[in-house]
Amino acid sequence: MATAFGAGNFIADTTTSNTEAASFVPEHWSREFIAPYKVSRVLANLVTRWNFEGQFGDTIHVPTFVRGAANAKVQESVVVPNVTNSTLTDILIDKHIEYTVLIEKFSETQALPSMRKAYLEDAAYAIARKQDWDLHLLGRNAPSGTPAPGGNVTGTDYSTAVIGSDGTTVWNPAANANAGNATSLSDAGIRRLLRSQDDNSVPMSDRVFVLPPVELESLRGIPRFTEQAFVGDATPIRTGLMGTLYGTPIYVTQNCPFVLDTAASNDQRAGLLLHKAAWVLVEQLRVQAVQAFLTEFLATQLTWHTIYGVKQVRSANVKAFIVPA
């Protein structure tokens, strides 16, 4: 069976180092991992992704360009230069995520070959979920901690979020006797959320709605949302990429955070209207598989790990909204 172990279990002189284990890295394990890993990711596929693999350093400095203005040319007068307002945004590559199991030789000998496949698929899901979760947490405008994947997020972290019914009322975790004022998405709320990005000159392409499953259930109960006229590609609404509303794709993910009201109830969840340029995912080491036989344990160690960083670079390109769970 798989065995849990801590740092104290290893002896410095006998532990297999990264260099020594390199010859044990099985490429086929990496390839088998990629398919379930990609299937499990949702949000990571909807943001700007930069491949930083093979590069050195722990920080990327990104110029955030601010739009200029076109000016009327006055005859016999000099042109009016635009003031450079661009700023630098630092993206820290500070996340090294791993999933490791230790399988004793006794168990490995007697178990079915499918045992390894089960660990591989679980690792793919766990790492993909963690990466998506780190991106979801960027939706908070006032972070107050780093909850674990699937954990509860403090309601005041989303102090600029709105509620789903109208897309304008600010989320208030202390409303309704500390029960919060979250409401389900409505047609008016969706249109108002879209307008908020229109007003901020956010491009109409590459926008998406990211919803918790509960909102998929709500939308399916509103007849006009299941009409072909409201599903942009004339495809029936479905799970995952469920179609488009007003030309905007809608994705459903279980990874949308639970949000606490002031009474500490987690019966709210956060959704997103997101443009691709809002957030950046920098991958310095894509998921890698490492396998080594540890003689001191008579066990095989299987590890999958990745190095990356996430950052919000354009706050106007994302809007969080709170809906009931």
Q: Is residue 71 part of a domain?
A: no
Residue 155 sits in the same domain as residue 170: yes
Band of residue 67 on the pLDDT scale cut at 50, 70, 90: confident
Judge whether 33 and 287 are in contact, CB under 8 Å.
yes
Percentages of the chain per state (helix, strand, coil), in multiples of 5: 30, 30, 40
Query: 108 exposed, middle or buried (CB, 10 Å; 0-12, 13-18, 19+)?
Result: middle
Lowest mean pLDDT among 207-211, 225-229, 295-299: 225-229
48-51 and 279-294: which strand pairing?
A: parallel
Q: Is residue 58 part of a domain?
A: yes
Q: Is residue 144 part of a domain?
A: no
Residue 203 sits in the same domain as residue 233: yes
Report the share of the chain in percent with pLDDT over 90. 52
Residue 125 sits in the same domain as residue 198: no
Average confidence (pLDDT) over 254-266 = 95
Radius of gyration of the chain (CA): 24
pLDDT at 27: 52
Residue 303 has pLDDT above 80, yes or no: yes
Residue 187 sits in the same domain as residue 94: no
pLDDT tens, residue by residue, 217-259 = 777 776 666 664 455 454 444 435 667 788 888 898 999 999 9
Decide which of 187 and 26 is more confident.
187
Q: Where are the alpha helices (DSSP H) in the chain?
A: 18-21, 27-40, 105-110, 114-136, 175-178, 187-199, 213-220
pLDDT at 18: 44
Decide which of 101 and 66 is more confident.
101
pLDDT at 21: 42
- CATH assignment at residue 120: 3.30.2400
Residue 129 sits in the same domain as residue 181: no
pLDDT at 61: 85
Residue 160 sits in the same domain as residue 268: yes
- Residue where the block lists tokens 């310095």: 284
Q: Is residue 73 part of a domain?
A: no
Report the share of the chain in percent with pLDDT over 70. 84
Residue 58 sits in the same domain as residue 101: yes
- Among 40, 112, 66, which residue's Cα sits nearest to residue 316? 66
Give the Cα separation of 224 and 248 in Å (integer).
16
Domain that holds residue 290: 7-66+82-134+283-311
pTM of the model: 0.80
Residue 3 has pLDDT above 90, yes or no: no
Judge whether 273 and 43 are in contact, CB under 8 Å.
no
Give the Cα separation of 210 and 241 in Å (integer).
10
Q: What CA–CA distances, in Å, run from 36 to 30, 44, 73, 289, 290?
A: 11, 14, 58, 14, 17
Q: Is residue 199 part of a domain?
A: yes
Residue 171 sits in the same domain as residue 319: yes
User: Which tokens belong to 278?
Assistant: 């809002």
pLDDT tens, residue by residue, 111-155 = 777 787 888 889 999 999 999 999 999 999 999 989 999 999 999
Residue 13 sits in the same domain as residue 102: yes
Residue 279 has pLDDT above 60, yes or no: yes
Give the Cα separation of 127 and 308 in Å (integer).
12
Q: Is residue 33 part of a domain?
A: yes
Judge whether 280 and 91 are in contact, CB under 8 Å.
yes
Residue 124 sits in the same domain as residue 246: no
User: Which tokens belong to 123?
Assistant: 């690792």
User: Which tokens belong to 116?
Assistant: 């390894």
Count CB-CB contacts under 10 A for residue 107.
15
Give the Cα separation of 325 and 152 in Å (integer).
12
pLDDT at 120: 87
Q: Report DSSP letters for 274-285, one per residue.
A: EEGGGEEEEEEE
Average pLDDT score, the chain? 84
Band of residue 69 on the pLDDT scale cut at 50, 70, 90: confident
Residue 41 sits in the same domain as residue 158: no
pLDDT at 207: 96
Residue 92 has pLDDT above 70, yes or no: yes
pLDDT at 240: 52
Q: Is residue 140 part of a domain?
A: no
Lowest mean pLDDT among 53-62, 213-222, 297-306: 213-222
Band of residue 87 on the pLDDT scale cut at 50, 70, 90: confident
Q: Is residue 209 part of a domain?
A: yes
pLDDT tens, residue by residue, 178-208 = 999 999 998 899 999 999 999 999 999 999 9
Task: Give how many domains the chain has, as a whole number.
Answer: 2
Residue 98 sits in the same domain as residue 198: no
